[in-house]
Structure 1
């Protein structure tokens, strides 16, 4: 009778199954922490956006819904410490009265707050102050708004070679007009934007007594200044830079209350 040999079953490798279980649990935990971190960040951003919106209204200004982004990952460690490296605040379609019957308009007021102190209790309850060590903001004022501030009809402004240049049609007599062009000197002083025109010249200036004197007088009339409206977070003008799309204004402030308690 033939001897029957049974086939030996392969041994299972023990220990690998628990390893994969632990790895899966760690991945699930990690994903959960990331989700909680992002949900927490979104909640804090919404709270700050509401506070900033109220601050804008308090300054008699208007804007689209503020977009707040808290920089830095992970978020929860910043929450526990109550300290944030940077908070970005974007105010689209920003407009504020300049006190001269005009509103200063910017398509976007981009604000960056650094070294922000925001206690967890302030975010959780909506009460308490949120303070930044420093705040900078940038916005662009269109040349059409600046031109209208001259109070002279037919004045156009633009950027050329990093400078603001102006042009206008000026009547020398009842029947004769000349095209004027000149460079504008733009600077910030005492919270105001000042514009003065220099090197104003006329193309095809007729030989009329006193014509150049009239042009010089008109150039002086084109000079203007306007006070930058009171901005959220006590931002003040620090720098002006002519760009093709408009005059880029940089604002700044230090030790700024981004949002006061109880708002």
Structure 2
């Protein structure tokens, strides 16, 4: 009787099959990784194109309004980006403007803003709208923050010796004033009132006082008039998207101004 070795034959047959199976699986995994990488690259390229388009639009709009600034930094949030394009809804768009200068013709000076940040969240822009340029592009919420330097405000006040600074969360002014009634130069001090008025900030002063100020009604009237002369309207630089000022806070570096708006038409000309 001839001897047979089935177990050995089966083992020899299974090993190549398993190796081929493993090789196929490895190839598939490599292909998936390569394709995934290509998708990620394509997604990031598309984001870069979108960010450049927004930056170009911001450049055009603000240049038309005589605002000078460094090239804007634009960041389109959310991942993946291409699915947002298809859905027509983007998580967020952030625009950062630096070294913003707005001319004030009547004062022959400028309002300086070292940095302004605009965040648009929940941006709705259908693909057909982007292709044709027709239709609405809206944002659920737009928030803007910027800081106006005290040097800009002092230049607008245009009174020699005026100084502004933050003390305990308040805007404090000190200014020398020549009081003709007593023929004496006195340095007065007081707090400012900050009031948003449309696209401007009204800075008004009252109750200026000094230890050297005599208790004289005529002198007091004169100083009150001087305080009114110090009051100034500060025009805020134009932003790419409209926001309404909601808060003005004195900081060590200047007036920190923030605003917000809801259901904003981003492609509406201001």
Q: 1:110-149, aligned counterparts within 5 Å?
A: 110-121=117-128, 123=130, 127-128=133-134, 130-149=137-156
Identify the residue that residue 6 of structure 1 maps to in structure 2: none
Q: For the Cα contact (< 8 Å) 2:67–2:103, is it kept in 1?
A: yes
Query: Cα RMSD (Å) of the superposition?
Result: 2.9
TM-score (normalizing by structure 2): 0.81
CA 1:254/1:70 → structure 2, altered by over 3 Å: closer, same or farther? same
Using CA pairs under 8 Å that are at least 6 residues apart, name the structure with larger relative contact order, 1 or 2.
1
Report the CA distance shift for 1:16/1:41 in structure 2 as closer, same or farther (over 3 A).
same
**What TM-score do you get using the length of structure 1 for normalisation?**
0.83
1:44 aligns to 2:41 (yes or no): no
1:216 Cα deviation after fit: 2.6
Question: Partners in 1 of 2:105 and 2:262 — Cα distance?
Answer: 25
8 Å Cα contact 1:48/1:259 also seen in 2: no
| Residues 215-247 of structure 1: CA deviation (Å, up to 9, x unaligned) | 232222212223435543333433211111110
5+ residue gaps, structure 2, are 1-10
Give deviations 1:11-44, integer Å, cap 9, x for gaps: 5652322222222112112111111110111111
Q: Which has the higher helix share?
A: 2
Partner of 2:179: 172
Cα distance in 2 for residues equivalent to 1:31 and 1:79: 19
- Quote the residue 2:91 is aligned against: 85
Aligned mates of 1:228, 1:76 — CA distance in 2: 36
The one of 246, 253, 268 aligned to 1:245: 253
Q: Which runs of 5+ in 1 are unaligned?
A: 1-8
